Structure formats: C-alpha cells, structure tokens
C-alpha cells in the first residue's frame, strides 16, 4: 500500500523523513552548544541553561568513564522528574553507555527484574527510593550506587531546606541502609560532580545503530520486556515529531522561546521523546516532579506562561476538575497533546471550552518511541481518531495471516519506520514482526480513505491505567503466589479517574482469605497503578473446553454490576 495519506498532510509538512546517521552524542554536542545561553529546564523554581547542563553532563560522563566500564554497559536511573534527570541521561550516553530508565514507584520485585535483565552495573537513584533498592541490590550486577537527595540541584540554600523538609517534615524519605561493601560501592551525587572536576572526558566511538537504551514495557508473559532502542531510533523519532510540529513553530516569534510543561514522568517514553524534541528545538522544559499534587501544579501554571502541555487523559481530567483551573492564563497555549491513553470526547470538549485550544490526540508505543499517528496540529476540534501516520511511518492493517487489508477493513495495526525498534532484549523476536517486517502492535483498528486511523480495541487483554500499560498476567502471577489463592483472573473496569482500573476475580484456596490480605500483599509486590482496586471472590472461573480462562465473560460480569 502506498502512503496515500501524505496527500492530506498540512501544507509544508514533508511526506517522508530521510534516514539519519546521527548518534545522540552528536545530537547533544550540537544542541547544547547551539542554545547555550537559553534556559533548558526549570524544576521547583530553579533553572539551568543548556550550557550548564552541558557542563554537568560532561562531568557525569567523565566520572562514569573513570570507572573503566566496558563501552555499552547498562546504567539504571530511578528518579521522578527532577533537575538531576536530564544531565544524568545525557552524561551516561556521552560516556558511551546504555540507559535503562526505571519507574521509581516499582516494588523491589519489579526493580530486581529490570536490573537483572538489563545487567545494570550502575544505578543513579533519588534518596526516597533507596529503601526499595536496599532489599535486592545484592542479588543484581550493580557495582556502584549513586544516591541523590531531592534538593541536589536546587542550590545550596533551597536544596538544604528541601532536603530537610522531605526527611523531617513530609517524612518522604523512608529509612534505609545502603553503604559500601564487597558487592557494591555507594556514592553521593554531589561528590561525583566534585570528583569529576579533575577528570577528563574522552568522546567514545559510538555508531548510530548502536544501542542507546533498554526501555521496559509490560510483558504478556508476566514480566516486563526490554525494548532495544538505538541512537538512530531516538534521533529519527525527534525528527518525525519536529516535522509534524512545524505549524506550531511557523506561528512562533523568532525571539520567543517556547515553554513545554513536562509533567508526565520522564521514564515514560512519551515524556522522554517530547523532552528530547524540546531540546532539539531549543525549548524551555518546565519540569514537574509531582503532577498528582494538583493544587501545586495549578499554582505553577498560574505563575509560569506555557505554550505546550503534553498529558494523558487522567491528568487533563484532574486539572479540569480543579476549581482554580479556569483562572489560569491560556493566552499563550499553542498545543495540548494527548498520548499514552485515549482522550475521552467529553473531557476534550470541556478542555477546549475553557482553554480555547483543542486536544490533539495521537498514538504510539514504547516500541516506536511514542511515534506513530497523530492528528494534524492545525486541527480546530477533537476528532476522536488517532490521526494519520506521521512522516517516515508506514502502517498497514493486517489480517490474521499478516496480509494487508483494504481501506475500511478491520484488523491488527502493523507499523514500520525509523523509530520502530529492531526487537526485544533476551527474547525470540520472530513472533513480534510480520512476514513483511511490520511490528505487530496487537491493537485492532481501521484506516479510512483519508488515512485517519481509528482504534477499535486495545491489545486483547492489556489495560491502560492512568496512561500506563498493565498486563493481567503479571498481576495474576503475583496474586497467585499468595498461599490462600487457588487461581485468579484480572480484567479492566472503566474508571473516571484512571481510564481503566484493575479488577481481580479470585477463587479461594482457604475460606479465611480476605480482601484486606490481598490488598496488603499487592502493596508489597506491585506498583500502585497495577494494584487491584476491585476484588471479587468467585466460586469458579469461566473456562473454555481446553481450560483457557474466558476473560470476556468476566468483563461482561463486571459490566453488569
């Protein structure tokens, strides 16, 4: 099928993106110098210029290189959005290493799997999450632990106050014991920056096709899968978005620096690629550490003019519900971009009514660097579709035999493009790609005669909880470890606050089992968004003649309640 949709692109947008031979090291070297005097990021009221981030990241790179690690060794980063995040990312890549970004809400079990599977040698971790690492670090390949208190990059006075408040007032730093021993060494983030002043940096020999990241996504096998992301994948993905964003930049005053609100977590691929794009375009990134504190988030948006706000449906919805949301000045807002989960039509209507700006919805996967389809940024209203394939993207709707279907027919979405990964870490990748090389997304959809794609169903069993992929098999595997559980099955139920929430049906093996026991067990073993909000005990799970649990019957049962 030809890329017939390109004829419907907004004026001035290229139909394709040429292949690139650029690494992220090339990218950072050029970008950080080009915009040296501009502010790159602001968090908790403290800003850093592109030049300052350049300097700090080179210190981090020099220190990492001084450890004598093999080029391409894996480095883990476990933090929320703070000023330390981007310099560590840039520094690790400049050192010639491979990144693995970790959700700081992970339990010890989830953290251990990612560290072991990625064979991480170093972990940079924010202090409030050290208690999670403490229990499992000895069972991983970690050799160096770099601990960073929250206020490390907030200046000496403010940083000291923030650290004191986090520990002693908000009680946000659980007690932990991590100290150097025969297995690993422990460092403080500020001390490695100080030590790096006497170290020299050597630019590594890295190629565009070399591995840059191992990004983890939920696994249908019960554990997260590592996505192999090359330098070229990331650079190409930013170029695709850059092309699609041209209508925004055409309306920009040449002397104006756009501010992009980074409220979504940077370990999430959507936030990561939008932030790298922001650097490519010389934007100012307004970094939000805890967007769930809606009161503080609203106050921040009232103080700081902003032009771009990427978010997921639940965050848009939470902002709309705040009584002071209408008091925000939206006069400079140019783009509200929805990703990670479907935006609801009613929420989108209310958002446009208050802000005057439509929500532009798109679709992508971690496996595509968040790049896939999007509605034109010239759209004046919410369309309810996920838009057209972006420049450099090829999409086919596939039947069960992996043959391309005609326009209007329903099938599985297959995708090709420069941002699409080559495969998964430590897995047989033949099953994930069609015979013609399209990544099989598992999403069911249809494409109309103008190239607009409509999602009809998510992956067969996957849930989208607050924008995060949640796989029933993982949750079931954890719950069935509990000795009083005979078997269980997980489905999603509609939720105004989360999009979907997790419901588990449990067959007891011990009549004394209570919902409280399940809640407590899940709290210890699953990140918050994966924990069941709904628990129902059932005498028997519905099954097929071959013993397969019939989740669709459980979904129907849930919908009747």
**Which phi and psi (to 5°) does residue 369 adopt?**
60, 30
Range of the domain at 129: 24-206
Specify whether 51 is located in the same domain as 141.
Answer: yes
Task: Give 193 or 380, the one with higher predicted confidence.
Answer: 193
**For residues 294-314, average pLDDT:** 93
Q: Which residues contact 294 (CB under 8 A, 6 or more apart)?
A: 318, 319, 322
Task: Give 180 or 545, the one with higher predicted confidence.
Answer: 180
Specify the 3-state DSSP secondary structure of 15. Answer: coil
CA-CA-CA-CA dihedral for 10, 15, 21, 23, to nearest 10: 30
Q: Please, how many CA atoms are within 13 Å of residue 407, restricted to the half-sphere of its CB? A: 10
Specify whether 286 is located in the same domain as 371.
Answer: yes
- Note the pLDDT of residue 252: 78
**For residues 57-77, average pLDDT:** 98
Q: pLDDT tens digit string along 31-62?
A: 999 999 999 999 999 999 999 999 999 999 99
Q: How far apart are CA 43 and CA 427, in angstroms?
A: 38
- Note the pLDDT of residue 25: 98
CA-CA-CA-CA dihedral for 152, 153, 157, 160, to nearest 10: -20
For residue 220, is pLDDT > 60? no
Q: pLDDT tens digit string along 430-486?
A: 889 999 999 999 888 899 999 999 887 666 677 889 888 787 878 988 998 999 998
β-strands 98-102, 308-311 pairing: unpaired
150's enclosing H/E stretch is none
Specify the 3-state DSSP secondary structure of 452. Answer: coil
Mean pLDDT across the chain, nearest whole number? 92
What tokens does 458 get?
């998510």
Q: Which residues contact 146 (CB under 8 A, 6 or more apart)?
A: 122, 123, 124, 125, 186, 187, 188, 189, 192
Total number of domains constituting the chain: 3
- Note the pLDDT of residue 469: 77
Task: Give 499 or 60, the one with higher predicted confidence.
Answer: 60
Specify whether 261 is located in the same domain as 372.
Answer: yes
Specify the 3-state DSSP secondary structure of 447. Answer: strand
Q: Which residue has the tokens 């983890």?
A: 216
Does 216 fall in a domain? no
Q: pLDDT tens digit string along 226-241?
A: 999 999 999 999 999 9
CATH number at residue 115: 3.40.50.980
- Note the pLDDT of residue 381: 86
Residue where a domain stops, chosen among 457, 487, 505: 457
What tokens does 108 get?
């010890």
For residue 4, is pLDDT > 80? yes
Neighbours of 547 (CB within 10 A): 6
CATH number at residue 316: 3.40.50.12780
Residue where a domain stops, chosen among 457, 475, 495: 457
Q: How far apart are CA 361 and CA 310, in angstroms?
A: 10
Neighbours of 300 (CB within 10 A): 20
Specify whether 426 is located in the same domain as 375.
Answer: yes
Specify whether 54 is located in the same domain as 182.
Answer: yes
For residue 124, is pLDDT > 90? yes
- Note the pLDDT of residue 457: 63
Pick from 247-256, 388-397, 457-466: least confident: 457-466
Give the DSSP per-residue string, 87-123: HHHHHHHHTT-EEEEE-TT--HHHHHHHHHHHTEEEE
Specify whether 424 is located in the same domain as 522.
Answer: no
Whole-structure pTM value: 0.88
Does 334 fall in a domain? yes
Does 211 fall in a domain? no
β-strands 499-508, 485-495 pairing: antiparallel
Q: pLDDT tens digit string along 407-434?
A: 999 889 999 999 999 999 998 888 899 9
Specify whether 380 is located in the same domain as 404.
Answer: yes
Q: How far apart are CA 323 and CA 307, in angstroms?
A: 22
**Which phi and psi (to 5°) does residue 128 adopt?**
-60, -10
The confidence band for 258, taking pLDDT boundaries of 50, 70 and 90, is very high
Specify whether 11 is located in the same domain as 31.
Answer: no
Pick from 78-82, 133-137, 484-488: least confident: 484-488
SS (HEC) of 236-296: HHHHHHHHHCHHHHHCCCCCCCCEEEECCCCCCHHHHHHHHHHHHCCCEEEECCCCCCHHH
Does 220 fall in a domain? no
Q: How far apart are CA 8 and CA 16, in angstroms?
A: 13
Does 490 fall in a domain? yes
Specify whether 528 is located in the same domain as 475.
Answer: yes
- In terms of DSSP H, where are the helices of 284-391? 294-303, 313-321, 345-355
Specify whether 476 is located in the same domain as 451.
Answer: no
Specify whether 337 is located in the same domain as 303.
Answer: yes
546's enclosing H/E stretch is none
- Note the pLDDT of residue 383: 82
Q: Residue 230 in contact with residue 72, Cβ under 8 Å?
A: no
Specify whether 14 is located in the same domain as 43.
Answer: no
For residue 13, is pLDDT > 80? yes
β-strands 335-338, 359-363 pairing: parallel
Q: How far apart are CA 486 and CA 98, in angstroms?
A: 41
Residue where a domain stops, chosen among 457, 477, 508: 457
Does 215 fall in a domain? no
- Note the pLDDT of residue 545: 52
CATH number at residue 548: 3.30.300.30
360-394 b/e (C-beta count within 10 Å ≥ 16 → b): bbbbbbbbbbbbbbbbbbebeebbebbbbbbbbbb
- Note the pLDDT of residue 250: 81
Does 526 fall in a domain? yes
Q: What pairs with residue 330 in β-bridges?
A: none
Q: pLDDT tens digit string along 500-528?
A: 899 999 999 999 999 999 999 999 999 99
Q: Residue 224 in contact with residue 356, Cβ under 8 Å?
A: no
The strand order across the sheet containing 284-287 reads 46-49, 39-43, 284-287, 259-262, 308-311, 335-338, 359-363, 373-374, 388-389
- In terms of DSSP H, where are the helices of 108-230? 108-118, 130-134, 156-164, 189-195
- Note the pLDDT of residue 12: 93
Does 436 fall in a domain? yes
The confidence band for 561, taking pLDDT boundaries of 50, 70 and 90, is low
Q: How far apart are CA 248 and CA 335, in angstroms?
A: 8
């Amino acid at each position: 099928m030809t890329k017939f949709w390109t004829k419907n692109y907004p004026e001035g947008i290229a139909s394709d993106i040429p292949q690139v031979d650029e690494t992220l090291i090339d990218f950072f070297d050029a970008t950080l110098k080009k915009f040296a005097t501009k502010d790159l990021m602001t968090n908790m009221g403290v800003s850093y210029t592109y030049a300052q981030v350049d300097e700090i990241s080179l210190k981090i790179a020099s220190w990492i290189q001084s450890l004598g690690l093999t080029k391409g060794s894996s480095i883990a980063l476990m933090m929320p959005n703070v000023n330390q995040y981007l310099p560590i990312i840039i520094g690790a890549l400049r050192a010639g290493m491979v990144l693995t970004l970790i959700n700081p809400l992970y339990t010890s079990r989830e953290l251990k799997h990612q560290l072991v599977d990625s064979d991480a040698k170093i972990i940079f971790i924010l202090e409030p999450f050290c208690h999670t690492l403490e229990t499992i670090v000895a069972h991983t390949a970690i050799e160096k632990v770099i601990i960073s208190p929250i206020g490390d990059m907030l200046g000496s006075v403010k940083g000291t106050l923030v650290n004191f408040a986090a520990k002693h007032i908000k009680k946000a730093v659980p007690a932990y014991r991590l100290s150097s021993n025969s297995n690993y060494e422990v460092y403080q983030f500020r001390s490695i920056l100080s030590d790096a002043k006497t170290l020299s940096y050597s630019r590594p020999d890295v190629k565009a096709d070399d591995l840059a990241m191992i990004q983890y996504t939920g696994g249908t096998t019960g554990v997260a899968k590592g996505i192999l992301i090359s330098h070229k994948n990331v650079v190409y993905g930013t170029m695709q978005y850059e092309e699609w964003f041209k209508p925004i930049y055409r309306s920009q005053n040449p002397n104006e620096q756009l501010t992009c609100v980074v409220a979504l977590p940077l370990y999430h691929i959507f936030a990561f690629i939008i932030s790298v794009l922001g650097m490519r375009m010389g934007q100012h990134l307004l970094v939000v550490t805890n967007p769930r504190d809606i009161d503080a988030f609203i106050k921040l948006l009232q103080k700081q003019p902003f032009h771009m706000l990427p978010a997921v449906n639940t965050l848009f919805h939470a902002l709309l519900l705040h009584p002071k949301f209408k008091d925000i000045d939206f006069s400079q807002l140019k783009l509200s971009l929805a990703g990670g989960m479907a935006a609801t039509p009613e929420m989108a209507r209310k958002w446009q009514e208050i802000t005057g700006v439509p929500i532009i919805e798109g679709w992508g996967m971690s496996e595509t660097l968040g790049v896939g389809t999007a509605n034109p940024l010239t759209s004046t209203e919410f369309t309810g579709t996920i838009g057209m394939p972006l420049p450099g993207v090829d999409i086919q709707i596939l039947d069960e035999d992996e043959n391309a279907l005609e326009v209007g027919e329903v099938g599985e979405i297959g995708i090709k493009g420069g941002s699409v990964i080559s495969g998964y870490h430590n897995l047989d990748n033949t099953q994930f790609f069609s015979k013609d090389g399209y990544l099989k997304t598992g999403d069911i959809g249809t494409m109309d005669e103008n190239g607009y794609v409509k999602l009809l169903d998510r992956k067969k069993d996957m849930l989208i909880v607050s924008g995060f992929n949640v796989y029933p098999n993982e949750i079931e595997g954890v719950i069935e470890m509990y000795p009083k559980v005979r078997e269980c099955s997980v489905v999603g139920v509609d939720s105004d606050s989360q999009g979907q929430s997790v419901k588990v049906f449990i067959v007891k093996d011990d009549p004394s089992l209570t919902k409280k026991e399940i809640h407590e067990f899940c709290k210890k073993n699953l990140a918050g968004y994966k924990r069941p909000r709904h628990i129902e005990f059932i005498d028997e799970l519905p099954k097929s003649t071959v013993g397969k649990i019939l989740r669709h019957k459980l979904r129907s049962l849930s919908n009747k309640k």
